[in-house]
Amino acid sequence: MLERAENPLYLYDDDADGLCSYLLLKRKFKKGTGIPVKRAPKIDVDFVKILNHYTYDLLVILDKPLTDQEFIDKIKTPIVYLDHHQIQELKGVYYYNSRFNKNDDSPTTKICHDIVKQDDWIAAVGIVADWHLPSFLKKLTKAYPDLIKNTKKPEKILFEMEMGKLAKIFSFILKGDNKVLKECVSVLEKATSPYEILENKNSIIMQRFEEVNKIYEELLNSAIKERSRDKLLVFTYLSGKVSSTGELANELFYKFPKKMVVIAREKDNEMRMSIRGKNALKHLAKALVGINGYGGGHENACGGSVAKEDFIKFLNNLRALI
Ligand SMILES: [Mn+2]
């Protein structure tokens, strides 16, 4: 369908897996436009209005966890939907989800790489960013021995190797200003190697990365400093321009794997949280009983939001469970 289409429109999740999925398809088929879709709201019927500004003959949805049937019904072109989140019951889409295979939740980037069979380094970035190991790791270590080494732990690549730094770069450029993001993505659409990104310190990509990373590193270091002996590692901060609770929680959980990590950003009297730890999702559901709040996600990595006045009570509930 991508070969036949003249002008596909891509809607991709605004994280490294979503971006890499888009980049792989765009670089292979060399046509169409991409729009990153912010994670919080699902793709619903309101989105039709935004799409009316574009002409396209194929809609491609990448890595988005939720899409409304009502939205799908209003789109007049064929829709291809590639994903690895919970399987949805959808009609009228060409839908492929990794979870159709037993015990498989491979990132969307992996599905796209299987289609295009090129740009291994971009595929590696998207796959590692979602804490998976590329099946072609050996090939990567041969092609980029200074960027990636053999390991069984994707998080080791993510936090200790240059290929993982690229994943951080990809996810940080997706934060904030859309105009800068557009320029960054167009550089990535043409880049010929990972070195071109990593070594060009004056590029718009590295400048944007350094800007976000400076704030990120400050938060990370405060969280490390403020931690106690408690089995809960809690860190809260006031919302600024960039949200990085997910990345912070991941990295802190990597550093302190025995703790349950709760990172919360205060916004509009709500504590918006990312939680990492063993059985985090199960504990979250129980800790939310009697609390003004909500949450969801994966077994060991989830998120949610609770009213500010309930936050201490929520933490006490959680502490009692672990
Ligand atoms: Mn993903």
Torsion of CA 55, 58, 63, 69, to 10 degrees: 90
Average pLDDT, the chain: 95
* Structure confidence by residue, pLDDT tens digits, 218-234: 999 999 999 999 999 99
Q: Which amino acid would we find at residue 36?
A: P
* Structure confidence by residue, pLDDT tens digits, 260-273: 999 999 999 999 99
Instruction: Report CA(18)–ligand 1 centroid distance (Å).
Output: 6
Instruction: Report CA(108)–ligand 1 centroid distance (Å).
Output: 6
Instruction: Report CA(23)–ligand 1 centroid distance (Å).
Output: 14
Instruction: Report CA(289)–ligand 1 centroid distance (Å).
Output: 29
d(CA 65, CA 83): 7
Residue 160 sits at the vertex; the CA angle it makes with 156 and 166, to the nearest 5 degrees, is: 100
Instruction: Report CA(290)–ligand 1 centroid distance (Å).
Output: 31
Instruction: Report CA(130)–ligand 1 centroid distance (Å).
Output: 6
Instruction: Report CA(17)–ligand 1 centroid distance (Å).
Output: 5
d(CA 71, CA 230): 46
Please give the pLDDT value at position 271.
Answer: 96
Pure H helices in the chain: 16-29, 47-51, 69-74, 108-116, 120-129, 137-143, 154-160, 162-173, 178-190, 194-198, 204-226, 245-255, 280-287, 311-321
Residue closest to 286 by CA, chosen among 260, 249, 256 = 260
Please give the pLDDT value at position 41.
Answer: 64
Mean pLDDT calculated for residue range 191-213 = 96
Backbone torsion region of residue 82, taken as left when φ is above 0, otherwise alpha when ψ lies between -120 and 50, otherwise beta = beta
* Structure confidence by residue, pLDDT tens digits, 180-194: 999 999 999 999 999
Please give the pLDDT value at position 299.
Answer: 86
Instruction: Tell me yes or no: is domain 227-321 CATH 2.40.400.10.
Output: no
Mean pLDDT calculated for residue range 111-127 = 98
Instruction: Report CA(107)–ligand 1 centroid distance (Å).
Output: 5
* Structure confidence by residue, pLDDT tens digits, 25-58: 999 999 999 999 986 668 999 999 999 999 999 9
For the chain, the domains span 1-117, 119-225, 227-321
Q: Give the confidence band of 240 by pLDDT, cuts at 50, 70, 90.
A: confident
Q: At 135, list the tokens.
A: 């099946």
Instruction: Report CA(16)–ligand 1 centroid distance (Å).
Output: 8
Please give the pLDDT value at position 243.
Answer: 79
Residue 148 sits at the vertex; the CA angle it makes with 147 and 152, to the nearest 5 degrees, is: 165
Q: Could you please state the CATH topology (level 3) that the domain comprising 1-117 is classified under.
A: inorganic pyrophosphatase (n-terminal core) (3.90.1640)
Instruction: Report CA(85)–ligand 1 centroid distance (Å).
Output: 7
9 φ, ψ (degrees, to nearest 5): -115, 125
H helices, E strands: number in the chain: 14, 10
Which of 3-12, 80-89, 147-156, 175-184 shows the lowest per-residue confidence on average (mean pLDDT)? 175-184
Q: State the CB neighbour count (10 A cutoff) for residue 16.
A: 29
Instruction: Report CA(146)–ligand 1 centroid distance (Å).
Output: 26
Q: State the CB neighbour count (10 A cutoff) for residue 122.
A: 26
d(CA 183, CA 232): 40
Strands 301-307 and 260-267: unpaired
DSSP letters, 286-305, are: HHTTTSSEEEEE-SSEEEEE
Mean pLDDT calculated for residue range 164-190 = 94
Which of 31-40, 56-65, 115-124, 163-172 shows the lowest per-residue confidence on average (mean pLDDT)? 31-40
Instruction: Report CA(202)–ligand 1 centroid distance (Å).
Output: 29
- pTM, rounded to two decimals: 0.93
